[in-house]
Amino acid sequence: MKLHTLAPAKGATKSEKRIGRGPGSGHGKTATRGSNGAKSRSGYSRKIGFEGGQMPIQRRLPKFGFKNPNRVEYKAVNLSALQAVSDKYNVTVIDPDVLINAGLASKNDLVKILAKGELTAKLEVKADAFSAAAIAKIEEKGGTATKL
Protein backbone atom coordinates (compact mmCIF):
# COMPACT_ATOMS: atom_id res chain seq x y z
CA MET A 1 0.00 0.00 0.00
CA LYS A 2 1.32 3.42 -0.97
CA LEU A 3 -0.08 6.91 -0.52
CA HIS A 4 -0.90 7.31 -4.21
CA THR A 5 -2.99 4.12 -4.18
CA LEU A 6 -5.26 5.18 -1.30
CA ALA A 7 -8.89 5.78 -2.28
CA PRO A 8 -12.22 5.93 -0.44
CA ALA A 9 -14.33 2.77 -0.32
CA LYS A 10 -16.58 2.11 -3.29
CA GLY A 11 -19.88 4.00 -2.84
CA ALA A 12 -18.51 6.17 -0.02
CA THR A 13 -18.40 9.36 -2.10
CA LYS A 14 -20.86 11.00 -4.47
CA SER A 15 -20.18 13.48 -7.28
CA GLU A 16 -21.43 17.01 -6.66
CA LYS A 17 -24.84 18.00 -8.07
CA ARG A 18 -24.05 20.33 -11.02
CA ILE A 19 -26.87 22.86 -11.09
CA GLY A 20 -27.86 25.15 -13.98
CA ARG A 21 -26.03 23.25 -16.73
CA GLY A 22 -28.77 22.87 -19.33
CA PRO A 23 -32.00 20.87 -19.77
CA GLY A 24 -30.22 17.54 -20.29
CA SER A 25 -28.85 17.57 -16.77
CA GLY A 26 -32.32 17.68 -15.20
CA HIS A 27 -31.11 20.60 -13.06
CA GLY A 28 -31.11 23.34 -15.72
CA LYS A 29 -33.38 26.37 -16.33
CA THR A 30 -34.54 27.21 -12.76
CA ALA A 31 -31.56 25.42 -11.21
CA THR A 32 -33.67 23.55 -8.60
CA ARG A 33 -35.01 26.85 -7.19
CA GLY A 34 -38.61 26.47 -8.38
CA SER A 35 -40.34 29.16 -10.46
CA ASN A 36 -40.62 32.77 -9.23
CA GLY A 37 -40.42 34.52 -5.88
CA ALA A 38 -37.75 35.90 -3.60
CA LYS A 39 -36.23 32.47 -2.97
CA SER A 40 -35.47 32.03 -6.66
CA ARG A 41 -33.44 35.24 -6.88
CA SER A 42 -29.74 35.68 -6.27
CA GLY A 43 -28.91 37.58 -3.10
CA TYR A 44 -31.97 36.28 -1.23
CA SER A 45 -31.64 35.98 2.52
CA ARG A 46 -34.62 35.56 4.84
CA LYS A 47 -34.95 37.89 7.84
CA ILE A 48 -34.54 36.13 11.18
CA GLY A 49 -37.99 35.18 12.47
CA PHE A 50 -39.70 35.79 9.08
CA GLU A 51 -42.72 33.52 8.68
CA GLY A 52 -43.75 34.26 5.10
CA GLY A 53 -45.75 37.38 5.96
CA GLN A 54 -47.65 35.72 8.83
CA MET A 55 -47.31 37.73 12.05
CA PRO A 56 -44.11 36.31 13.59
CA ILE A 57 -44.27 34.54 16.95
CA GLN A 58 -42.12 37.16 18.69
CA ARG A 59 -44.77 39.76 17.77
CA ARG A 60 -47.80 37.54 18.46
CA LEU A 61 -46.79 36.81 22.05
CA PRO A 62 -46.96 39.51 24.74
CA LYS A 63 -43.95 40.88 26.57
CA PHE A 64 -43.50 39.51 30.09
CA GLY A 65 -41.03 39.15 32.90
CA PHE A 66 -38.48 41.24 34.70
CA LYS A 67 -34.84 40.65 35.65
CA ASN A 68 -33.91 42.56 38.77
CA PRO A 69 -30.43 44.01 38.20
CA ASN A 70 -29.93 44.40 41.97
CA ARG A 71 -30.66 40.77 42.88
CA VAL A 72 -28.10 39.21 45.22
CA GLU A 73 -27.91 35.44 44.87
CA TYR A 74 -26.37 33.31 47.61
CA LYS A 75 -25.04 29.76 47.49
CA ALA A 76 -26.94 27.91 50.23
CA VAL A 77 -24.89 25.68 52.54
CA ASN A 78 -26.60 23.71 55.32
CA LEU A 79 -25.24 23.01 58.80
CA SER A 80 -25.17 19.28 58.00
CA ALA A 81 -22.68 20.06 55.19
CA LEU A 82 -20.55 22.17 57.58
CA GLN A 83 -20.50 19.27 60.06
CA ALA A 84 -19.41 16.89 57.28
CA VAL A 85 -16.60 19.29 56.23
CA SER A 86 -15.51 19.66 59.86
CA ASP A 87 -15.35 15.87 60.29
CA LYS A 88 -13.64 15.17 56.97
CA TYR A 89 -10.96 17.90 57.10
CA ASN A 90 -10.72 18.11 60.94
CA VAL A 91 -11.22 21.90 61.07
CA THR A 92 -13.00 24.14 63.58
CA VAL A 93 -12.80 27.40 61.59
CA ILE A 94 -14.99 27.30 58.47
CA ASP A 95 -14.54 30.19 56.06
CA PRO A 96 -15.12 30.56 52.30
CA ASP A 97 -11.67 29.09 51.49
CA VAL A 98 -12.52 25.87 53.35
CA LEU A 99 -15.88 25.65 51.55
CA ILE A 100 -14.20 26.19 48.17
CA ASN A 101 -11.64 23.44 48.90
CA ALA A 102 -14.47 21.12 49.98
CA GLY A 103 -16.33 21.82 46.71
CA LEU A 104 -19.38 23.39 48.39
CA ALA A 105 -18.89 26.83 46.83
CA SER A 106 -17.08 28.51 43.96
CA LYS A 107 -14.60 31.36 44.15
CA ASN A 108 -17.15 34.08 43.27
CA ASP A 109 -20.13 32.69 45.22
CA LEU A 110 -21.67 34.53 48.13
CA VAL A 111 -22.36 31.91 50.81
CA LYS A 112 -25.41 31.79 53.09
CA ILE A 113 -25.52 29.29 55.96
CA LEU A 114 -28.90 27.64 56.52
CA ALA A 115 -30.08 25.64 59.54
CA LYS A 116 -30.96 22.25 57.98
CA GLY A 117 -29.24 19.37 59.75
CA GLU A 118 -27.58 18.97 63.14
CA LEU A 119 -24.33 20.43 64.38
CA THR A 120 -22.28 18.45 66.93
CA ALA A 121 -18.97 20.36 66.88
CA LYS A 122 -18.11 23.82 68.21
CA LEU A 123 -17.42 25.73 64.98
CA GLU A 124 -16.28 29.22 64.12
CA VAL A 125 -18.17 29.95 60.89
CA LYS A 126 -17.45 32.90 58.58
CA ALA A 127 -19.85 33.52 55.70
CA ASP A 128 -21.61 36.29 53.78
CA ALA A 129 -25.04 35.63 55.35
CA PHE A 130 -26.75 33.41 57.93
CA SER A 131 -30.34 32.46 58.64
CA ALA A 132 -31.52 33.31 62.16
CA ALA A 133 -32.04 29.61 62.94
CA ALA A 134 -28.51 28.78 61.75
CA ILE A 135 -26.98 31.41 64.04
CA ALA A 136 -29.01 30.04 66.95
CA LYS A 137 -27.84 26.44 66.32
CA ILE A 138 -24.17 27.46 65.90
CA GLU A 139 -24.17 29.54 69.11
CA GLU A 140 -26.07 26.80 70.98
CA LYS A 141 -23.01 24.55 70.49
CA GLY A 142 -20.68 27.32 71.70
CA GLY A 143 -19.53 28.38 68.23
CA THR A 144 -19.52 31.77 66.54
CA ALA A 145 -21.20 33.01 63.35
CA THR A 146 -19.35 35.92 61.75
CA LYS A 147 -20.62 37.85 58.72
CA LEU A 148 -17.93 38.84 56.21
Give the chain's domains with CATH numbers. 74-147 (3.100.10.10)
Q: Could you say which DSSP state residue 23 is in?
A: G
Mean pLDDT value across the chain: 94
Q: Do residues 70 and 99 touch, judged by C-beta distance below 8 A?
A: no
Runs of H (alpha helix) within 61-131? 79-89, 96-102
Give pLDDT tens digits for 75-119. 999 999 999 999 999 999 999 999 999 999 999 999 999 999 999
pLDDT at 6: 95
Instruction: Please determine, for residue 125, whether its predicted confidence score (pLDDT) is greater than 90.
Output: yes
pLDDT at 1: 83
Instruction: Please determine, for residue 132, whether its predicted confidence score (pLDDT) is greater than 90.
Output: yes
Distance in angstroms (rounded) separating the CA atoms of residues 62 and 70: 25
Q: Do residues 109 and 92 touch, judged by C-beta distance below 8 A?
A: no
